[in-house]
Structure 1
Amino acid sequence: MRTTAPTESKATPVIEVPAPALPQQQLILTIYGLYGRRAGGQLPISVLIQMLGDLGHDAPAVRSAVSRLKAKGVLASVKGGGLARYELSDASLKLISEGDERIFAPARANPGAPWVLAIFSVPESKRERRHQLRAELTRLGFGSMGAGVWIAPSGVRESAQQRLEARGLDKYVEFFTGDYSSESDMRAKVAQWWDLEALGSQISQFMDTFGGSLEEWTALVGEDPGAAFGASSPELRRSAFRYYVPMLTLWRRLPYRDPGLPLEYLPVGWQGPEARRIFFGVHRLIGPMAESYAMSLVEEAEAA
């Protein structure tokens, strides 16, 4: 079900802001990926509290989420400067930077393009690593062909190797790239190797929440991002921030779970291309406004 919260300003035309149920930790990672690097990698905790407050989360919950991320080694505290600050750990910063290409420039393979096989073997004494490998390969968009054999379009190989190396799992995996020579029905094979029902459900969730977003924002600000930004008020930029951060948080799961499988191998009526069109259309229109609002909060905190 789509839940919404109206914007509060009477001076700005109202656009309904979806409020999907998203964990605070995921929203914080989105904020750091979008705006933390533009602020020198660091964000004051007061700014995080204000940003998450705009998204409907109270200060104690934000502090608790930051503490959990710090305990996991995702965030690190920064001393000095008179403000309590946090930054991404080096490993987390590397993963987020590597993820930009997957999230913002997802590629779709063509039929007949090469595949990559990930074949792993884990000693029984370390079977927990086996579970971690399966989970990571699933998150990276690989399909399971059988015990220890996973497959994906070859374009995801480099990012997969980097992610597994960062997780300390690369020593258990060998990668091979090649063609699939069988005359089998690839649509049936893909449905066997990937959980398309789960992936389709995630795409449907995105479409249920944000399917009308491009039409709504275009009606509100027009089709020209530059003109929209130039005419935007502080209230509209805040609305853009409140809209864009949850949208990106929900979107960024999809380019990983769908590794760019050829459309010819996916079910008829697959919604992935339409979800991509909508996300990038809204990203183009309101991303700059959302960034302007976010960075204004950082500047105000620094000046205080």
Structure 2
Amino acid sequence: MKKLLYIPCFIFASFFSEAQNTTIVSETEEPVSYATISFGNGNGLFADDAGQFYFTKKLYKDIDSLFISAIGFNDLKVATQDLSAIIKMKSSINTLDEVFLSKPRGKFKIEKIKPTVHEDYYKCWLPTIESEIAVYFPNNSTKTQRLSSLQVPIKVEAKDWDKRKRKTSKKRPFSTVFKVNFYENNNGLPGHVLTYENVVFIANEKNEKILEVNVTEYDIYMPKNGIFVSLQVLGYTDAKGKLLPNKKYQEIKTKRGIVKVPTTFRPLLPFTDEIAEKRTFVRRIFLNGGQWTLFDKQNVEKSNLLKAGLNNYGLGLNLEVYKED
């Protein structure tokens, strides 16, 4: 069910050596794209669009079990010693709420919820593959509304870019794939997903400060209680848009031993203090059961963004609002 919104770019990266190449498929032999592979110790990785992932005991010596999950499938536990080239996942019988069997007829107008963007590097979220950010959009209309596009604020330049001679300096290339998820409102927190489709896009150094992601084809409709739209970093890609093996941590040798430093990915996501209500939520994919929490000082410790009063990610949204017959 992979649909890739691809923006060409280039990236320098290396593959993990001596890795077990495993493909996750469904009962009908279709690849399970972008499945989550958790190690159960706060670490993990993702399968690519073809359902493939790379695991090696050389890098993950203390891991004896993998926990695999994907939207629309039953969770699966696999012993690393039994890891085979093909893993099959069974489809779940869960149904999606508020599914429209036919598209609304008649004319519509576009309603825009404008994004909030800025150029301050130090007021940005540094994305990691362990984190997912969700923004809540309330339903302020009684009319049928279909999501048309997302307006994604990003910052692609390095923190010292303003000091450089832009006409002669080239931006360092990168290519990062993001997954977009849509959730219903479950008592103020992201709840069940609203589509089993994989909605992904790639960002690179050539993008402008607002990246538009068209989502009309996925037929996502605004639920009565509002909707959560999330961004999740899957990692860097190669020049063809193929997801590369990405580690959550970089291991650095020091006098005190091995120190694990979280791997951050560009582009950065600008946070803002211009939105009055708190409507941004975060979770760590591989920790605490992936539980969501409101992004504020009461729930998130040691955040420089929150210390500066930056509670929200200024994601924008365009809606098709259909006229009543």
More strand per residue: 2
Which of the five TM-score ranges fits, normalised by the shorter chain?
Answer: under 0.3
Q: What TM-score do you get using the length of structure 1 for normalisation?
A: 0.22
Q: What TM-score do you get using the length of structure 2 for normalisation?
A: 0.21
